[in-house]
Amino acid sequence: AQSVTQLDSQVPVFEEAPVELRCNYSSSVSVYLFWYVQYPNQGLQLLLKYLSGSTLVKGINGFEAEFNKSQTSFHLRKPSVHISDTAEYFCAVSDLDSSYKLIFGSGTRLLVRP
């Protein structure tokens, strides 16, 4: 069964510094990959998605992610973070075997300090 690993439960970073949030998934078959962000007391907002094509995906708020099939990874990056980026970030995968339900990682809390 498909699974998603987000190794870092929390990532502290200073404002204007770059950040990378790591995500690995278990299966190398054809998958769709997503990053969602959750602000306090809110639902999930889609940041970006990889369905096919270019392995570098650009999303909202200056975030981007790179799909690496050989390493089964989909790491999220931002070159310069803002205080407002403080939130919980979830990586998710879906595929045909799971009937396209989203399987989420445990989340990474990004804490941006001034």
Partner 1 sequence: KAGVTQTPRYLIKTRGQQVTLSCSPISGHRSVSWYQQTPGQGLQFLFEYFSETQRNKGNFPGRFSGRQFSNSRSEMNVSTLELGDSALYLCASSLDSADTQYFGPGTRLTVL
Which residues of this chain interact with partner 1, rule CB under 8 A? Answer: 32, 34, 36, 41-46, 49, 90, 92, 94, 96, 99-107
- What gap in Å lies between CA 63 and CA 20, rounded to an integer? 10
* Minimum CB distance to partner 1, residue 42 (Å): 6
User: Where does residue 5 rank: exposed (0-12), middle (13-18), buried (19+ CB within 10 A)?
Assistant: middle
* Minimum CB distance to partner 1, residue 110 (Å): 17
Q: Which is nearer to partner 1, 14 or 39 (CB)?
A: 39
Q: How far is CA 92 from the centre of its chain?
A: 7
Q: Which is nearer to partner 1, 41 or 70 (CB)?
A: 41
* Minimum CB distance to partner 1, residue 113 (Å): 23
Q: Which is nearer to partner 1, 73 or 98 (CB)?
A: 98
The residues, any chain, with a CB within 8 Å of residue 37's CB and separated by 6 or more, are 44, 45, 47, 87, 88, 89, 90
